[in-house]
Amino acid sequence: MKEGIGHQFQMETKYQREPYSPGAVEGQQKREKLKEKLVDKSWPLPPPDREDGWPLFKAINSRRSVREFRKKPVSLAALSQILWAAQGITLKAGDFSLRTAPSAGALYPIDIYVCAQAVETLNPGLYHFLPAAQALRMRYEGDFSQLLADAALNQDFLAEASLVLVLTAVFERTTWKYGARGFRYLYLDAGHIAQNAALAAVSLGLGSCPVAAFFDDEINALLGVNPARESAVYLLAVGWPR
């Protein structure tokens, strides 16, 4: 990708831990130990409900940011419903698909990863959501909850949540068409997706909290993505409110 002002903005606005700050080396060693093996195994998700659920205005009125969660697993069906609301396919026409959230040019540059911490029938680990298949692909198995919270400026409620959605932006999906202005659209897309997921969560009796403060390089390293091409832009903790 040709670097320009948009890429410069992305690089110069990220939080970055000092290389030798307390816990930096230990955190890197923990990430490397947990990620010794790439799993690359897929799980189909239960079909989402497209008809029922709360009225929209009730969900909007009830949504609040929740930072205290109970230690209680979320069902796989609930996770599937939230992921479908966030980025699910709503219309297929040949090879062309439209999703639940709007996207500039229908280019869909945002990917969703799931840090599953307490999801029924799902092993703890890092998963990649596949919208076209309504499925998850495991990337790494293990408990990444505390590493994720540490990378998010020690916001420990992220480790207490049942799951955390990590939204990443794949830059070239938008910038090939819109150039540097495409970086604006990346964040708009992420906002649409996060709000859909938050409304779906509250409709299921769950709570959520969006988080934008994190050390970019550490989250990217957890996911195993190349930050020159793809980078985390938003987190959403989801779980049962206390």
Find the CATH number of the domain harbouring 109: 3.40.109.10
pLDDT at 16: 83
Burial of 7: CB neighbours in 10 Å, binned 0-12, 13-18, 19+:
middle
In a domain, 111, yes or no: yes
Two tokens, residue 71: 């230690």
Give the number of C-alpha atoms closer than 13 A to the C-alpha of residue 149, restricted to the C-beta side: 17
pLDDT at 20: 54
pLDDT at 19: 62
Lowest mean pLDDT among 21-35, 170-184, 228-242: 21-35
pLDDT at 200: 98
In a domain, 112, yes or no: yes
Two tokens, residue 66: 């929740």
In a domain, 30, yes or no: no
In a domain, 33, yes or no: no
In a domain, 27, yes or no: no
Domain enclosing residue 199, as ranges = 5-16+38-239
Residue 162 above 80 pLDDT? yes
Torsion region of 219: left, alpha or beta (phi above 0 gives left; psi -120 to 50 gives alpha)? alpha
In a domain, 211, yes or no: yes
Total domains present in the chain? 1
Residue 93 above 60 pLDDT? yes
pLDDT at 231: 97
**Residues forming a β-bridge with 93:** 96
CA distance 203 to 97: 25
CA-to-CA separations, 127 to 40, 55, 102, in angstroms, rounded = 9, 30, 23
pLDDT at 22: 62
Bigger pLDDT: 104 vs 24: 104
In a domain, 21, yes or no: no
pLDDT at 109: 97
In a domain, 23, yes or no: no
Residues 6+ apart with CB under 8 A from 95: none
pLDDT at 102: 96
CB 234 within 8 A of CB 186: no
If DSSP codes are grouped into helix, strand and coil, which group holds residue 54?
coil
